[in-house]
Structure 1
């Protein structure tokens, strides 16, 4: 007899969540879904997922409940509100928040879950829509080892590099380190492409050469060409990246750290939001350097 797989709830079917939930369903797990915009769940329902009308309703029928929503305020609402996920989850269930959110909030959710006899992990991801579609995300996890081991087979459907980083909140702290590295690297890539263009070089040719040397990175090789082509379609929204950088700066302040590269990147991205580009991808930072050169000219 084939062992019944645990039922999985998935809340948040955006650019990444849609693919992540799809991998779980394709692997034969019973899938229960919710999203604020119901139409985003239609394709999964057509493939066999069950729709529910609230996050709490999903949690009530799921052995594992996964969320990937927008902002810490959204996380707090879906988990800790009256009738939310923590209040409605089954005894023994495991909750996994894959949103990039506040480490302190992750610890609060874990404690609230513990008081109800359930487990909560913070498990933010990196890899964008490309990694989500391929099931190759990096997943950084905070929480109890027993809960991590219990849900690892499900995490492995979405990620290729999965690590338990420590107690509750540690996954979010790790994601902050990731976003800090990305922020300054995006500055560097945009400046490199701008320099190549203004110097009269073929920027794509420059990227092809330097992309195999010490400057090589996913951002240089993946997003550099999009900057050259002025392809600013989102793999990760600017307004979500600004949210992440804001959290990172707040956490750095608590730790007594000054991070000038991160602060500069956030300031430049905020100018893009102010000019109506918040729904574009993070490679749109190149717009800032185009504008600076145009003004200088």
Structure 2
């Protein structure tokens, strides 16, 4: 038992936010709107410009964030980015204060989440893995699904802050459990995206109005978030990233590696990754995942 639950209020809490990209920018904005003091860091300061205009404070390094914030969120691209930010002389763990909290919302490796937790705990810091699902729309509307792995008491302490970012905040279990749950999410999406694209292409080749088809199938048994939110983007020729293909491939690789470690075959996931790999070869790595539609256009 660690004692009384800590209340992180806008009056007593400085929040650090590292990673102000497509999703992080909106998420940090919600924390500002809730009245929290927010310190931001991003490799490219320009990406944080809107937040700075709204009152966020700029930090030149993750070290500076760790020294000032009692709760720090990270939302970056790859596990290697996470490692760079958390470890080393300028990292969050080395420079964070005992009693502070680190919340990684990056989709990363479960084994890395456990390593971060163990290293942080030795310094009296609570580390939480809390990857999200919902894309740019969920981030903008504060309707993300947040999957949490941590000590249960630590989760309860940061839960009110997490609820400013998402409407479905679920404690999944011990450290690493949040990342394992996100792998389940990505596995389900990977095969579903193939189905969504094939359904739209089929409708077009059958001479149907695909927009009209969507009116029927989005509300039936075939309904999914991807079908409702990404199929319309495909039809509009909008392939801007709500979630980058390059990041989705990273997630699928993590899931495949974890599945192999558990002795599990994932043929659907492997097929989806192979199709996205082909799109990367054609220069689509910075497109949104809905650009899988282009596979059938080549």
Give me the whole-angstrom Cα distance separating, in 1, the residues matched to 2:183 and 2:144. 16
Correspondence for 2:110: 103
Report how many residues are paired: 290
Correspondence for 2:3: none
Give me the whole-angstrom Cα distance separating, in 1, the residues matched to 2:137 and 2:32. 19
Correspondence for 1:181: 188
CA displacement at 1:63 relative to structure 2: 0.5
* Residue 228 (structure 2) pairs with residue 235 (structure 1): no
CA displacement at 1:222 relative to structure 2: 1.2
Specify whether residues 242 and 33 from structure 1 end up closer, same or farther in structure 2 by C-alpha distance, changes over 3 A only: same
Correspondence for 2:142: 135
Contact kept? 1:5, 1:30, Cα under 8 Å: no
Correspondence for 1:10: 17
CA displacement at 1:230 relative to structure 2: 2.1
Greater helix share, 1 or 2? 1
Helix, strand or coil: the match of 1:157? coil
Structure 1 runs of 4+ aligned residues shifted over 4 Å read none
Correspondence for 1:249: 256
CA displacement at 1:256 relative to structure 2: 0.7
Correspondence for 1:295: none
Helix, strand or coil: the match of 2:164? helix
Give me the whole-angstrom Cα distance separating, in 2, the residues matched to 1:58 and 1:3. 17
Which ranges in structure 2 are unaligned for 5 or more consecutive residues?
A: 1-8
Contact kept? 1:24, 1:157, Cα under 8 Å: yes
Give me the whole-angstrom Cα distance separating, in 2, the residues matched to 1:219 and 1:136. 15
* Residue 190 (structure 2) pairs with residue 168 (structure 1): no
Q: What is the TM-score when the length of structure 2 is the normalising length?
A: 0.95
Residues 14-43 of structure 1, C-alpha deviations (whole Å, 9 max, x = no match): 000000000001111111110000111222
Which ranges in structure 1 are unaligned for 5 or more consecutive residues?
A: 292-297
Instruction: From 193, 198, 201, give the equivalent of 1:194.
Output: 201
Q: What is the TM-score when the length of structure 1 is the normalising length?
A: 0.96
